[in-house]
Amino acid sequence: MKKSVKFLAVCLAAAAMLSMSACNGGGASSGAASDSSNSGVGTSTLDAIKKNGFITMSTNAEFEPFEYKDGEKIVGIDLEISQKIADKLGVELKVNDVAFDSLIPEITSGKADFVAAGMTADDERRKNVDFSDSYFDAGQAVIVKKDGDIKAPKDLNGKKVGVQTGTTGDKYCTNEEGTSEIKVGSVERYNKGMDAVSDLIAGRIDAVVIDDFPAQKFVEKNSDKIAKLNDMLTSEQYAIAVKKGNTELVDLINETLKEMKDSGDLQKIFDKYLAQES
């Protein structure tokens, strides 16, 4: 009996400590995505970022031309946009490269201030993060073997299709809600789009469903073996994701995007990466 009373006391003390630190908003947490509700007590998210001298962006650098590795360096359209966001705050840009399906957790856990990853703003994701204004119109494209029998999206019915895990291409092909027009036979999931393309070339799958510009880049590099269908499966819009309720940061990102759109800088960046033969 005595023992269990003592145990209860320890539990209560631990619970009190836990709830105290929860009230502090995680206390020791760095500039990454601190809660904007702190703004009333002096340290807003943007103040914290400025004080730390850096802002953290997470991405998945397997998605040329939006983010990819050039040697050790991560480059691409989203990196250029992210740099402008950091410049606007006068801080350094730090980049985390993680699996695509870990990007939303990067934000919800506070490891990243924002995600720029050619990420489509959709309602399912909106349950967990907030999105900026959109900065690019995209869609899911289909890559096939050059001399194969898939000539149009409808030929995908019943076929074995490769996708990048957790993407909108994965969602479309998996078709959990039964709303997709095409009913593929089976879905193979890959961490990297490139691995799906390699399996297509090797004949292990029949097609790859991935966003149109990355698809174009993959085809450019293997144009003797693979091709992209003209018709797309979906139409989507890319946006930058932040922690839910972080209006201060989303406003700053929207301002940056607007300036880049108005000045023509954003278009110049697209032209530079989309025209580039790789």
Is the CB of 48 or the CB of 107 nearer to ligand ARG?
107
Q: Please, which residues have CB within 8 angstroms of residue 93's CB and are 6 or more apart in sequence?
A: 54, 55, 57, 82, 83, 85, 86
Range in contact with ligand ARG (rule: CB under 6 A) among 44-52, 57-65, 143-151, 252-260:
57-65
Which residue has tokens 């969602």?
A: 171
Residue 153 is a binding residue for ligand ARG (CB under 6 A): no
Is the CB of 32 or the CB of 233 nearer to ligand ARG?
233
Of 44, 120, 234, 246, the one binding ligand ARG (CB under 6 A) is: 120
- Nearest distance from C-beta of residue 192 to ligand ARG, angstroms: 8
Of 31, 118, 139, 153, the one binding ligand ARG (CB under 6 A) is: 118
Q: Which of 107, 115, 231, 121 is nearest to 168 (CA)?
A: 121
Under 8 Å between Cβ of 191 and 103: no
Nearest-angstrom CA–CA distance, 115 and 36: 17
- Nearest distance from C-beta of residue 276 to ligand ARG, angstroms: 18
Residue 190 is a binding residue for ligand ARG (CB under 6 A): no
Give me the residues that bind ligand ARG (CB under 6 A), please.
59-60, 62-63, 67, 100, 117-120, 164, 167-168, 211, 236
